[in-house]
Amino acid sequence: MSSKNKTGSLQTTIQNAVATVQFGHPASNSFPRDLLNRLTSEINSLSTHSDVSVIVLQSEGDKVFCSGASFDELLEVENEEQGTEFFSGFAHLINAMRNCSKFIIARVQGKAVGGGVGIIAACDYALATPESAVKLSELAIGIGPFVIEPAVSRKIGKSAMTLMTLEGHEWKSAEWALQNKLFSAVHNANELDNAVETFAQKLSSYNPEALTEMKKIIWEGTELWESLLVERAAITGKLVLSDFTRKALLEFKK
C-alpha cells in the first residue's frame, strides 16, 4: 500500500505480522496537513488489521526523521479556524497512535524537531542512532509545543519537557534523549535496521490479544486527550497568526 503526491509519500508493507509505515516529504520529512491526515487514517486502519500485531513507523532518507509542521502551510494560515484545523492534524495523529490497538515502534534514523519529537513520544518504543538529536524550537517562532506537550511530558516528564522547550535553541543529543526515556535504545546507523527488525519480530511473536490489552493499560489516564489536544491546537492556531510568528517563519524559510 502506497501513496505519493506533492504533499509527500506514505507507504505500508506488511510482513510476518509487522506493518512498516514509511512517510516522506522533500522538505526534511515535514508534515503538510494532507500527509498528517493520510498517516492518521493508515494508523486507524492498521489498528483493526487482523494480520498485523506490531507497527514500525519510519521516514525516508538518513539525516532527518521528521522536522515537524510544514512552514509553507503555516504561512498560508489566514484565520484562527484554519490555524486550529492545521494543528488539529497533529492532535488527531497522536490520538490515533495512542488509541491504536497495536504497539508502535519508531525507527529514528536522524534528527527530529517539534512535531517530530511529539510523534516519537507517541510511539510505544523508539530505536534511534547517535545522530538522532532532538529539539523543541516552537517558542523561537512565537508558538509553543502545545499539542504535543502531553505526549512528550508523559514520556520524559514535565521537567525535561520544560528544559527542551526553554532551551529550544539547542539540540539535545541522542544520549540525552535516551537518558530521559524518549528513546528506548540507541544503535549505530548500520545496526539500526537489524535492531528494529529483531525487536519487532520478537514483539509480534507474542499473543496479539495480550499485546492489545497491554497497550490499553500503558495508555491509561490519557482519555481526556481526545478533547485536550484539539483545545491545544486552538491555542497554537491563534498564536500562529501573530506578527512575531509571521516574521519568524519567513526568517526560518530564508
Q: What is the pLDDT of residues 47-90, one digit of tens each?
A: 999 999 999 999 999 999 999 999 888 888 999 999 999 999 99
Task: Evaluate whether 53 touches 17 at the Cβ level (below 8 Å).
Answer: yes
Sequence letter at residue 39: L
From the list 192, 189, 112, the residue with the least C-alpha distance to 155 is 112
Q: Which CATH class is domain 2-204?
A: alpha beta
How far is it, in rounded angstroms, from Cα 195 to Cα 243? 46
Given a cut of 60, whether residue 4 has pLDDT beyond it is: no
Given a cut of 80, whether residue 252 has pLDDT beyond it is: no
How far is it, in rounded angstroms, from Cα 200 to Cα 89? 27
Element (H, E) at 226: helix 225-239
Neighbours of 84 (CB within 10 A): 21
Given a cut of 70, whether residue 3 has pLDDT beyond it is: no
pTM equals 0.95
Residues facing residue 2 across a β-bridge:
11
Given a cut of 90, whether residue 100 has pLDDT beyond it is: yes
Element (H, E) at 227: helix 225-239
Name the one residue in this structure whose C-alpha cell is 526515556: 181
Q: 81 is written with which cell numbers?
A: 479556524
- Cβ partners under 8 Å of residue 171, min gap 6: 111, 133, 134, 135
- Residue 169 has what pLDDT? 93
Give me the mean pLDDT over the 131-146 stretch: 95
Give me the mean pLDDT over the 146-171 stretch: 97
Sequence letter at residue 77: V
